[in-house]
Structure 1
Amino acid sequence: MKGDRSGLFGPAAAVLVVALVAAAVVGAWPPLVAVESGSMAPEVERGDLVVVTATDRFPWGDVAGHTAPDAPTRLGDAGDVVVFDPLNDGRGPILHRVAFPVAAGDDWTDRADPSLLDGDCADIAACPAPHDGYITYGDANGEYDQSAGIAPVVREDWIRAKAVLSVPELGWFRLAADAAIARVGLLPTAVGFGGVAAATGGLGAMLLGRLRSETRV
C-alpha cells in the first residue's frame, strides 16, 4: 500500500516542486496564468498558459505602455501586458495591455485613441483620473477598460506581474484544476489529478517498455 500511495502523490508533488521553483525564479505566485477569456486574442487565446514574472525582476524596468517611445513588444504588440487585480471589485485578476500612464486629475481622453473610447471625459466614470495609474485594454476589445467600465484606472500597487510569453492550450489543465478545487476542495483535487498523472505515467512506461522489447526482437 505504501508503494501505491507514493506512486499516487509523486506526480502531484513533482508538479508542486516545479511550480515552487518557477515562483522563486520569477518572483510571482502563481508563475503561470491560465487565460479564461479571448480579450487578448489573437496572440493569446482562451485556454493558453501565460508565464509571468514579478515587476521588479530582470529584465523589467518601469511599466511601459503601448504609446511609450520604444515600447517593448509583449505578446504580439507594443507595451507591457500585466496581471492586475482591482481591490474589492469581485472580478479577480485581469491580464491586459498597458496603454499609457496618467496622473490624478488628468483628462486622459486627450491622449487616447478615439476608436477605443465611448464618449468624452464627461461620459466616462474613470475620467478625470481619480488617482495616478495606468489606462489598460484587451487587444481584442473595442474599448479601453476604463471606458468600458471593466476596471478603474489601474494603480501601480494593483499590478501583480508582467507577462513574458504564452503557451497555446496548456492553460486548460490549470482551468480544470481551478474548477475542481472550487467544487470539491484542494486535497481531493490533488489526489485525483495525481492519480491521473500516475496512471498516465504508468501506461506510458508500459507502452514504452513493450515498444523497446519489440524493437530488440
Structure 2
Amino acid sequence: MSSRRPDRTGLVAPAVAVLLIAVLLGSLVGTWPPFVAVESGSMAPGVERGDLVVVTDTDRAPWGDLSTAADPDAPTRLGEAGDVVVYTVPGAGGRPVFHRLAFPVDAGEDWTDRADPELLAGDCDELATCPAAYDGYVTYGDANELYDQSAGIAPVVPDEWIAGKALFAVPDLGWIRVGIDAAAARYGGVATGVVLVGGAGLAGGVGALLVGRLRRGRRR
C-alpha cells in the first residue's frame, strides 16, 4: 500500500523568493541590507515615515560619488538637491541617521561661514562641532529646523561613518521592516526569524493549495 508524499515546496517558495530578491538587489547596489525603513518624519515630504528606501554604496557605478546640496550640478534625490545618506555615529548607541548632505568641510574650518544662518543655533564659538575636527560633511533633515551639527544630533560626518546613499523610496513598504525590527528587539532575532519563515511558508502553502484547487476545477 503506497501513500503519496505531500509536496512541501510551496511552503518555502515565497521565503526563498524574497531572500533571492534581496540578495540580487544587494549585489546590484553594493550594500547589505540594500534598503532602510524610515522611522521618523525628518526627511518629509520627500520621504515619509514608513517608506522603504533602497540604498547603494557611496561610490557604486553608475550613480557616482557623493554629492552635496551645495554642489552646482548635484542630482535631485528624494525631492531636493544632494545625496541623502545613511550614517551612524560610533559609540553613540543610537540608530542610523538618514539625512541629506549639506556641504563638505575641511579639518579646522569654521563651517558656519558657509552655512545657512536659519539652520544654525549659534556661531562657531557656541557650537561644540565647530570648527570641524576633521574632514567630513554637514548634514540635515529636510524637515528639521537645524543642521544635525547644530542640533546636537551628530558631529561633522566623515566618509567612514556613511554606510550608503539613497536611490529611491517606496511609500509605506517600510512599515514591514519597522515591525520586524520592533519584534526582534522585543522577542529576539531568532524567534522573529522563525515566525517570519513560518508565516511565509504558511502563506505559500495556502496559496499553493488554492492554485491547485483552481487547476483541478478547470480540468473537470
Q: TM-score w.r.t. structure 1 length?
A: 0.89
* Residue in 1 that maps onto 2:139: 136
Match among 168, 184, 187 for residue 184 of structure 1 = 187
Cα RMSD after superposing both structures: 2.4
Cα displacement (A) at 1:53: 0.4
Deviations 1:175-197 (A, max 9, x none): 11112222222332222122322
Query: What pairs up with 1:97-116 in 2 under 5 angstroms?
Result: 97-116=100-119
Q: 2:36 aligns with which of 33, 36, 42?
A: 33
For residues 43 and 219 of structure 2, the distance between their equivalents in structure 1, rounded to whole angstroms, comes to 50
Unaligned runs of 5+ in 2: none
Q: Is the alpha carbon distance of 1:202 and 1:9 closer, same or farther for their aligned partners in structure 2, counting shifts above 3 Å?
A: closer
Aligned to 1:123: 126
Question: Cα 1:13–1:180, aligned 2, differ >3 Å: closer, same or farther?
Answer: farther
- Cα offset, 1:127, TM superposition: 0.5
CA displacement, residues 143-170 of structure 1 (integer Å, 9 cap, x when unaligned): 0000000011000111110100000010
Identity %: 62
The unaligned stretches of length 5 or more in structure 1 are none
Rounded Cα–Cα distance in structure 2 between residues aligned with 1:181 and 1:4: 31
Q: Secondary structure at the match of 2:113?
A: helix
| Higher Cα Rg, which structure | 2
Q: C-alpha distance in 1, partners of 2:211/2:89?
A: 49
SS at match of 1:190: helix
Instruction: Name which of structure 1's ranges 5-14 and 169-178 shifts more when overlaid on structure 2.
Output: 5-14
Q: Tell me the residue number matched to 1:50.
A: 53
| 2: CA distance, partners of 1:127 / 1:8 | 57
Query: Following the alignment from structure 1 to structure 2, what is the Cα–Cα distance between the partners of residues 163 and 56?
Result: 12
**1:28 maps to amino acid:** T
Q: CA deviation at 1:7?
A: 5.0
Query: Where does residue 156 of structure 1 map in the other structure?
Result: 159
Q: What is aligned with 1:81? A: 84
Q: State TM-score, norm by structure 2.
A: 0.88
Residues 1:185 and 1:15: Cα distance change in structure 2 (over 3 Å) = farther
For residue 15 of structure 1, report the CA deviation from its aligned partner.
2.0
- How many aligned positions are there? 216
Q: 1:88 to 1:155 in 2, by over 3 A?
A: same
> How far, CA to CA, are the matches of 2:217 and 2:6 in structure 1?
29
Aligned to 1:72: 75
Amino acid at match of 1:107: D
